[in-house]
Every structure is written in C-alpha cells, then in structure tokens.
Amino acid sequence: MTSPTAPSIPFPRSTTRLACRTNPHWFAPERTGSPSARQDIERAKRACSGCPIATDCLKWALTHADLTRIGVWAATTPRQRTQLRHRLENRLGPDWINAIARADERARQRDARPPQPAPAPQAHPMWAHPYQPWREPLTADRQQHNRELLKQALTQPTTPTPRPTRIRAEAY
C-alpha cells in the first residue's frame, strides 16, 4: 500500500532534547536481525514512551510512508506502521489521511477557544432586581414594585404552624 504524503500533518518539532536526536543510532539500526540491533530497537521504543511529541511523530510517520520505510518512529517498527496504516484504511476509508488531518484541525480549533463561563444560577423572581439603597435612588417604579411585593406577600394564605404540645409524664 502506498500512501500519499499529507502536507496538513507537519513534521513534529520540539524544543526539548529528544532521544531520537541525541541517540539516532538507536532509531535506525543498520542490521535489524542482530542482537545489538534488537537492543537498540528496544531502547528506542522505551525512549519514545516518554517523548512529548510521540503522538505527532506517529501521525507523521503513518502519513509519510515513503519517508519512514526503516527505523523506529514513535515506538513502532516499519511492520507495525504498515499494519496500522491498513487498519486506519479499513476503519476510516481510503481518505484516512485527510480524516486524521480534519480531526487534528477540529481539536486545534476546540483548544483555541476560550472556556465558556458557567451560566449564572436563576434568581427567584422576587429577588431578580434587588434594591440597593446605597447605590440607587428609590424611584417611582421601584416604589410600585415594592408595593406589589407587599400585596403579594399579604394576600397569600398562611397556615398557622401547630405548636408542639407538651407531654407530661404522669407519676405512678
């Protein structure tokens, strides 16, 4: 399977020291069958496990098959990357590279948006516009509003609360 390259998935960059740059011989062994090459591959995979750009590196390696035919990229061997490409094509279709690029773009846009503030709790209608005498004058509208609140409070039927009765213990 040959896959076209994806210019929308850039080569990953990092300002930190990465093992693939400090020990490149681990990531591209000359003889893959030798015991020392297998040790280098295992070292490379361990180094990738803590890498801050491993996810982006894997996306780039999967979408640039012609440039990653050999070596370890994001803790994967060439055979593993080929298997992953086949699985992605089966799951996302022949345009799987663009599907990944679109998902990355949506994630970038989502992360770029500022977080939405939590909605304010709904106030009781009686307290929707509290009167603050130290900040506002008492206007005619406010006086009318206060009268309506008083009428509403006085016209609501009230039920008297029963008083608790004392139970006296009778002496025997």
What DSSP string runs through 81-150?
HHHHHHHHHHHH-TTHHHHHHHHHHHHHHHHHSPPPPPPPPPPPGGGSS---TTTS---HHHHHHHHHHH
- The token pair that represents 1 in the structure block: 């399977």
pLDDT in tens, 36-75: 888 888 888 998 888 999 999 999 999 999 988 888 999 9
**Average pLDDT in the 68-94 region?**
92
pLDDT tens for residues 7-28? Answer: 678 888 888 899 888 888 888 8
Model pTM? 0.59
